[in-house]
Structure 1
Amino acid sequence: MLPLPNFDEYDAITRTDFNVFVERVFVELNGSATYLDNFHIAAMVSELEKVRRHETRRLAIALPPRSLKSLVVSVAYSAWVLGHDPSAKIICASYGQQLADDLARDCRQVMESGWYKRLFRSARLRADRRAVAAFETTAGGYRHSTSVGGVVTGFGADIIIVDDPTKPEEAISDVERAKANAWASHTLFTRLNDKVNGAIVIVMQRLHEDDMIGHVGRVSDLKLVSFPAIAQQDEEHVLETPFGSWRHLRAEGEALHPNREPVGVLEEIRRAIGNQHFDGQYLQTPSPPGGRIVKPEWFQKFDLASQPQFDQVVQSWDTASKAKQLADYSVCTTWGKRGKHIFLLHVLRERLEYPELKRRVISQANIFAAQTVLIEDASSGIALIQDLKSDGFYKARAVKPKGEKTMRMNAQPVSLKPGWCPFRRTRIGSRTTSTNCRCSPPAVTMIRWIRRRRRLSI
């Protein structure tokens, strides 16, 4: 049995190992509370250290509520970075100024503690720059905190940390999400001092497909590290430490942190908040409104490499009215019909300006040799259908939508029976394809079109 380290050795380990530092920060801020270590903390630490070493420039961490994400990222990591580089400049943002100030106050408490000063003798706060919202070191580094939508004029950053950019209750609002995403893209992320080496870290529970992780992931090369409360498949995590690497294997169905929240407790939470909220906040796989109306277990899967010869190929389009950065997507689903069965072959989901949308309708039809292309006779679809026919593209068929999308989908599930639609998950986006099939207007349009033509016994 190895002897326990003395105080000097413990300090040396804490100064070297961010994982040990996190535990010491927890004790500093929580007194006599018991620290329950877990692999996901070591995994977050490993990924954050890659950011500090400039190996990762864009990092997103998605994990359930009450998983120490704010303590690790907003508090401990800020103090850790400034300890090793007192000249570093950090901006931290959260959904509200009160939360941002609370996290800043915790970080400042850590940096003013006796043990921290002993570990990092060069990281000293200036006596005249100790404000909660912006405290500065004697070496010129600082931690500036703000709320999403707040003012950051005059501040630049080497690292930008966004911790819970949107309140859960506001995430369903298109306006609030768009506001947060626009502020991040047009204001916050422009504050990087070095556009080549500067880093952005987003940590949050997933709340919507178009939350900040979804938004940033579409416009930049974002590394996403996700920790579902219940593993949806077998997982392997390689965790790097100053003393070597180790692997953690997590089996499908295993709770993220069994000592804190075993599967039984998580299932109680699921029943209390509902599947849709649980999917996002706890499983980190948000689905759009209506995404649970049609359940994925109703669909079978098939191998695209051995697909049958189809009697007919039909495409169904839902076109967005605009292609602005914060506007809706245009979505096309491609379906193959064979006998009494239909097969989902492909889902295209992009923001498209009108000229490109028109070209994409024609190219998608050519790629899959579609005989019929269904287009909603609404919004940009009206002009699109007219222009396509004017250009000699006569495969387009106008379909008049009736009612709001979720209400339309609600009217269809009775028609979907197990085995009715063999369903393929795409190689790189199974969740995205599944979600789009389950609730998007093109899927609803396809179902209604089939029923009207009585091509299938449903």
Structure 2
Amino acid sequence: MTPTESTPTKAEIYAACRLDFGTFARKCYECLHPGEPLKDNYHIDAICYQMDRVRDGDNRNLMVLMPPRSLKSEIISVAWPAFLLGHDPTLRILVASYSQDLATSIHRTFRKLISHPEIQAIFPVFANKAAKDTESETHLSEGGFRKAVWVDGGVTGQGAHIHIIDDPLKASDADNEAVCAKTAEFFDNTFSSRTNSPAEFRTVLVMQRLSEYDLAGHFLKRGDFEVLKISAIAENDEKIPTGPGLFHNREAGESFHEAHYPLEELEKRRRTMTPRAFSSQFQQNPAPLGGGLIDLSKFKRYETPPKVWDDRFISVDASSGADSKSYDVILVGRISNGRLYVTNVIRKKLSLYDLLDMVLEADAKYDFDRMVIEKTANGRELITGILRKYAGREDKLIRYPNFIQGITPTGNKVARMEAAMIAIAAGKVLLPKCAPWLDDFEAELRAFPEGKTDDQVDALSQAVKYFDFFMNDPLNRDIQGWPAYPKVK
């Protein structure tokens, strides 16, 4: 300490706690765990920053996915409601869990916190006698409350401004699709109906992943949640926001919290747990039973794709129609110096007409050298549509012999992907370290062959097949001898 510095007074510390949620959350830990020094870490800053954004209205739907024992519940379900109510004692907060025992246990921790003398000194509102204080509800005299609810208990009474969902599914029910569907229905319909001011209503889900059917998976499909996901061991290089304009740079292979979970300990857990359990609970990457054919660690990674390439193409896996359960997928690939770079993946449910438009728009933007299209069902119709649109185009059909590469799939999906794994394991197929589409793409690969969808897998195996063909025959005669340009009537 320099001569000009001095130890902050209690009044200054309490003032800082009122101003900054990160400071307050650390004070809460001190009050709840006396004599246990906090093993501070960047992930606490990351959580607190996201909670500030929710409070300020910058984000109304947040999902926090982290390994067990990372303080996520204590920060979000205990400290944050206290901070909110300390500033606005009229706020109404519902906190839901899968069982009564868990919900009331978390609420007891909240009651313990707000009864602590230091928390009452920071927020004097908690020193006043509560209008109601039970094992599941604490109501302030100003009208605000924190109320614990659980899935089987229903939700009655007043609505809320903020919903916190903390551990909504029991681990033993993770693979029970009926229970998972019932849980999703509860939160979609019953729980979500208990709202005040719908235009300003906010929801926070905090949990560790359990399966592809869990509530996080359900909300991810909706697409209206921002996600803070931190895996126990980084699978890629990451930049994790910890404040406005601030980031923690995390390298692939790092433990998320070396002081609490040393890498050696995490590797020990990986060996003693089933691969699926570790991937779900610690890596936040659930895979279904039977998944795991594709080892993501075999993919090389790149920061930016090469600016010079030998071939730029798309691999298209067309669905059987907009009403089918499958998706249309366009995978953009770039072959450079003997390697295949996957640069973009587009996955949508489209009509054949819309898929044709999307392919043509993508080609207008990127000017592909080749189009690789599966010759089944809508794939053949797509090829015919492209040929009609490009009839007479010297820059495509004449300039590039065999511009359209039609592939007739052989063998089943598993066999085709196993064949593709040869090039992947040899380090010849690269994925980006970061991309908006990457999480969904990797999730499907990780779940294959037992996942609900496999269209992106098909587009990838097809792209790798074309890559192998190109490397062996760069003049690009048509694959399997199919005429490149069938006569268009």
- Normalising TM by the smaller chain, what interval? 0.7 to 0.9
Alpha carbons of structure 1 residues 298 and 238: separation in structure 2 relative to 1, 3 Å: closer
Matched, 1:292 2:296: no
Alpha carbons of structure 1 residues 120 and 332: separation in structure 2 relative to 1, 3 Å: same
Alpha carbons of structure 1 residues 283 and 414: separation in structure 2 relative to 1, 3 Å: closer
Q: Which residue of 1 aligns with 2:393?
A: none
Distance of 2:76 and 2:321 partners within structure 1: 37
Residue number among 46, 49, 53 corresponding to 2:52 in the alignment: 49
Q: Which residue of 2 aligns with 1:198?
A: 201
Alpha carbons of structure 1 residues 336 and 220: separation in structure 2 relative to 1, 3 Å: closer
Q: Which residue of 1 aligns with 2:483?
A: none
Shift of 1:272: 1.9
Q: Which residue of 1 aligns with 2:210?
A: 207
Distance of 1:305 and 1:449 partners within structure 2: 20
Shift of 1:247: 5.7
Matched, 1:282 2:272: no
**1:2-55 deviation digits (Å, cap 9, x = unpaired):** 443444444333333333332332243334333222222122222212322323
Shift of 1:409: 7.5
Q: Are the aligned partners of 1:316 and 1:374 in contact in 2 as well (CA < 8 Å)?
A: no
Q: Which residue of 1 aligns with 2:429?
A: 422
Residue identity opposite 2:103 in structure 1: A
Q: Which residue of 2 aligns with 1:330?
A: 327
Q: Which residue of 2 aligns with 1:378?
A: none
**1:388-426 deviation digits (Å, cap 9, x = unpaired):** 999999999997996xx7x76886577666459635548
Residue identity opposite 2:441 in structure 1: T
Q: Are the aligned partners of 2:64 and 2:205 in contact in 1 as well (CA < 8 Å)?
A: yes
Q: How does 1:119-134 map to 2 (within 5 A)?
A: 119-123=122-126, 129-134=132-137
Distance of 2:345 and 2:232 partners within structure 1: 28
Q: Which residue of 2 aligns with 1:137?
A: 140
**1:195-244 deviation digits (Å, cap 9, x = unpaired):** 2222111222233456434433443543222222233315354436xxxx
Shift of 1:63: 1.4
Structure 2 alignment gaps of length 5 or more: 364-369, 389-403, 473-489
Alpha carbons of structure 1 residues 35 and 371: separation in structure 2 relative to 1, 3 Å: closer
Q: Are the aligned partners of 2:375 and 2:409 in contact in 1 as well (CA < 8 Å)?
A: yes
Matched, 1:92 2:95: yes
Q: How does 1:32-431 map to 2 (within 5 A)?
A: 32-123=35-126, 129-148=132-151, 150-209=153-212, 211-231=214-234, 232-235=236-239, 237-239=241-243, 248-287=248-287, 291-299=291-299, 303=305, 306-309=308-311, 315-317=316-318, 330-332=327-329, 334=331, 347-350=345-348, 352=349, 356-363=350-357, 370=371, 372-375=373-376, 418-419=425-426, 422-425=429-432, 427-431=435-439
Secondary structure at the aligned position of 2:124 is classed as coil
Alpha carbons of structure 1 residues 344 and 224: separation in structure 2 relative to 1, 3 Å: closer
Alpha carbons of structure 1 residues 211 and 9: separation in structure 2 relative to 1, 3 Å: same
Q: Are the aligned partners of 1:192 and 1:198 in contact in 2 as well (CA < 8 Å)?
A: yes
State the Cα RMSD in Å: 4.3
Matched, 1:19 2:22: yes
**1:338-382 deviation digits (Å, cap 9, x = unpaired):** 9x99886754434x4xxx44444544565567564355xxxxx8x
Distance of 1:358 and 1:304 partners within structure 2: 32
Distance of 1:401 and 1:128 partners within structure 2: 69
Secondary structure at the aligned position of 1:122 is classed as helix
Q: Are the aligned partners of 1:27 and 1:33 in contact in 2 as well (CA < 8 Å)?
A: yes
Residue identity opposite 2:123 in structure 1: F
Residue identity opposite 2:429 in structure 1: P
The worse-fitting range, judged by mean Cα deviation, of 279-288 and 54-63 is 279-288
Distance of 1:81 and 1:335 partners within structure 2: 46
Residue identity opposite 2:279 in structure 1: D
Shift of 1:71: 0.6
Distance of 1:271 and 1:413 partners within structure 2: 27
Q: Are the aligned partners of 1:347 and 1:436 in contact in 2 as well (CA < 8 Å)?
A: no
Shift of 1:270: 1.6
Q: Which residue of 1 aligns with 2:480?
A: none
Q: Are the aligned partners of 1:235 and 1:252 in contact in 2 as well (CA < 8 Å)?
A: no
Shift of 1:68: 0.5
Q: Are the aligned partners of 2:98 and 2:167 in contact in 1 as well (CA < 8 Å)?
A: yes
Instruction: Give the total of aligned pairs.
Output: 432
Secondary structure at the aligned position of 1:157 is classed as coil
Q: Are the aligned partners of 1:126 and 1:138 in contact in 2 as well (CA < 8 Å)?
A: yes
Distance of 1:125 and 1:27 partners within structure 2: 22
Structure 1 alignment gaps of length 5 or more: 376-380
Residue identity opposite 2:154 in structure 1: V
For normalisation by structure 1, the TM-score amounts to: 0.76
Residue identity opposite 1:183 in structure 2: F
For normalisation by structure 2, the TM-score amounts to: 0.72
Structure of larger gyration radius: 2
Alpha carbons of structure 1 residues 304 and 118: separation in structure 2 relative to 1, 3 Å: same
Q: Are the aligned partners of 1:226 and 1:284 in contact in 2 as well (CA < 8 Å)?
A: yes
Distance of 2:22 and 2:28 partners within structure 1: 10
Distance of 1:434 and 1:341 partners within structure 2: 19
Alpha carbons of structure 1 residues 141 and 285: separation in structure 2 relative to 1, 3 Å: same
Q: Which residue of 1 aligns with 2:398?
A: none
Alpha carbons of structure 1 residues 131 and 322: separation in structure 2 relative to 1, 3 Å: farther
Residue identity opposite 1:330 in structure 2: Y
Distance of 1:280 and 1:80 partners within structure 2: 31
Alpha carbons of structure 1 residues 307 and 317: separation in structure 2 relative to 1, 3 Å: farther
Shift of 1:84: 1.2
Residue identity opposite 1:200 in structure 2: T
Identity level (%): 24
Residue identity opposite 1:280 in structure 2: S
Shift of 1:127: 5.1
Shift of 1:102: 0.6
